[in-house]
Structure formats: structure tokens, C-alpha cells
Amino acid sequence: RWTLGPAGPQTLRATLGNLQVTLRADAMAHGTRVLLTQVPGRILDATPGRVLWVDSAGVRAVRVRHLPAGTDETIATGLTAVPTLGHLYSAGALFAVPAGGPAGELFEWRNGTLASLGQVDLWAGVRLSGEWVAWGTAAGRYRRDLAAGATITLPGAGAVLAVGPNGDVIWNEDSGRRRMQRYRDGQVTSFAFSNMNEDVVTDGVHVAAAERIMGNEWFRLVSGDGGTATQELLSYNPWVGFARTYGRGYDVSGGWVAWASHRQNVSWSRQGTYYVYRRPEPLTGHRRGMVETLAPNGELMYRTPEGEAWDAPIVRFLDVPGGLVWDFGLVADGERVVWRDGAFLLITSDGTLYELHR
């Protein structure tokens, strides 16, 4: 029997006569879930102080719940369809209402007033990050500075892949080599990516994407300084799609990068085939699992199964730079964790919002 010390790496030794066994293990603290609120509908987005949600009573109303008071403010009602996405920002909220097929309409509730931002192509992407939104249609590409309330037209037309917290916008070239392009401060920079990019994310420092090549997927990382870009192939991973099923396969935030890498020559269906990595400070030890959310301070939320296969119960862990790990317990169907306004928030499918504390 051993007595573990503080949370972190532990060395345990057992001695019997001339025999000695040394074991190394991690002592993990248990994190806590703090209930913030529960709404009678579906949560579109949340911060520690507000919840954007859709009323499930059949009136197709969008409301903002203010915390901790718990008072609801109705911002739209009688919509033609149930909104498919939503986003809270400092002065209000955004949500999109589908209109059949890829068509939809983007609405902004700003300083208490609801207005339409026009028709959008939901399949071409409405990208949201902090105080920015970007979208593309067959007629053009657009970026709106939500803090200033100003919209600009970007070069070209078609899908927008990502927008960063600094206003960077990522898309693919319209012709020619069809590389990935980034708009920043009026300048467009091309990256050495093909047009076969999926699930692009950017934090204004890095760009990450799964690039599909001949039926497989490669995970590539691009780092740039605003004028140039360097491509780096971090990991060959033919099962990135499988990884994303159980949490995000990768994420970038605040200059940090985290990803799950496939170990070759091992059956892909076993959880041992995936290890989670982080830069610039790596994780302590070998962490099996899938990336879920990365915070701008390097704190990483990831998932891993209790058993050998991914159909075993999934457990959520938080790894903090410095080597400490917190256990947040089993993951239920429909749960997702987001990082908003300095906090990890757990959003459930039944309209419950928790703040995760360590």
C-alpha cells in the first residue's frame, strides 16, 4: 500500500529482500463541475455571464440568459426555422437561420437591436471567433468587426475556412495553384496547402488543417509572422476523421498547438493508437486520447477511454502546463467543452451549463 503525494508524477518503490520494483504513476486531482444554469431548450453558445439559447417550446424564440441572476431576454421570435449556430460577443449575439439547402440568413443582435446581416451560404461557412465573424457566398467574401460594427469585402468569392481572434481570415485560392490564403491587415499571404483542407483553425499565430490526400488525411501545421509562412508536416494520420469523432483531432490557441497523432502499425480501433501532443511545452508522459479544447494559456482538455477500445466509457482530463492533470469524469453523449472568457464551460445536450473548476 502506498500513500500518494501531491498531484503530479509519482515514483513508487516496493522492496522484498533483494528484490525491488519501481513504479511511476500520475496522481490526479478531481476537477469539479459548478452548475451555472439550465435552460428549457438548446444552448447555442455560452460565456460565464451569458447563455444564448433556443426555446424548445415551439415558438422558435432565441433568448439570452443573463447570469447569475438567471433573467431571460428575448432577442428574436417567430423565426421561420430553428437557428443552427450562434455566437456571443461583447455587445450582443449572432445567429443564423437556415432557409433550405445551403441558404440561410445571418442576424445580429447588437446593443439591444436585432438586424439582418443578409443572406449567407451555410455550406460555405459562417466562421466565428471572439469579436469577429467571416462568411462567404458565390458573390463574395466578407468579414465583420463585431466590436466596431463594420463589415469589409474580402478578395474573391466562395467558402471561408476560418477566422481568428485577431481578425485573420483563411480561405482557398479561387484559381491557379488553389493554395490556402490568409487575409491580415489588408494583405493576403499564400500558404503551401492544397485546396483539400478540412476543419481549418487559426489563433492568429498558427493555422492548422487536415489536408486530404488520395483518400487519406494529413495533419499539417502552418506558422506565420504576417508576411511569410512556413509549412511543417507534424504528423501523418490516416484516421484524423476517426479522431474528430471523439473530440477535436487538433487545436491552436494563443500560440499553443495540440494534436492527436496516430501510431503506425497498431490497430486503429484501439485507444493506444492515439497520443496527445502539445507545443511549445509538451505534455508530461504519454497521454492517450483526443484533443477537445485548447486554452490560450496552454491548458488542454482531452478525452480518453477507460478501457482499450473507443467504445469504452470516455473520460475527460485537463492537462495544465507544468505537468499537473485533473480528472473531470465520464463524458456523456452530446457534451462539449468550450473555452470562453477565461473559463472552461461544459455544455450538455439538455440545456445545462457548467463551469469546470480545478
Q: What is the pLDDT of residues 236-278, one digit of tens each?
A: 444 444 444 455 578 889 988 887 765 543 333 333 456 787 8
Report CA-CA distances (Å) from 119 to 27, 62, 113, 128, 279.
52, 19, 19, 16, 39
Name 23's bridge partners.
12
Average per-residue pLDDT in the chain? 81
Residues 6+ apart with CB under 8 A from 191: 179, 180, 181, 182, 207, 222, 224, 229, 231
Backbone angles phi, psi at 226, to 5 degrees: 105, -30
Alpha carbons 224 and 31: distance in angstroms, whole number: 36
Are 294 and 251 spatial neighbours (Cβ–Cβ below 8 Å)? Answer: yes
What is the rounded average pLDDT of the residues 18-35? 78
pLDDT digits (tens, 9 = 90+) for 75-117: 999 888 999 899 999 999 999 999 988 899 999 999 999 999 9
What is the rounded average pLDDT of the residues 165-184? 82
Length of the chain in terms of residues written = 358
- Provide the 10 A C-beta neighbour count for residue 212: 16
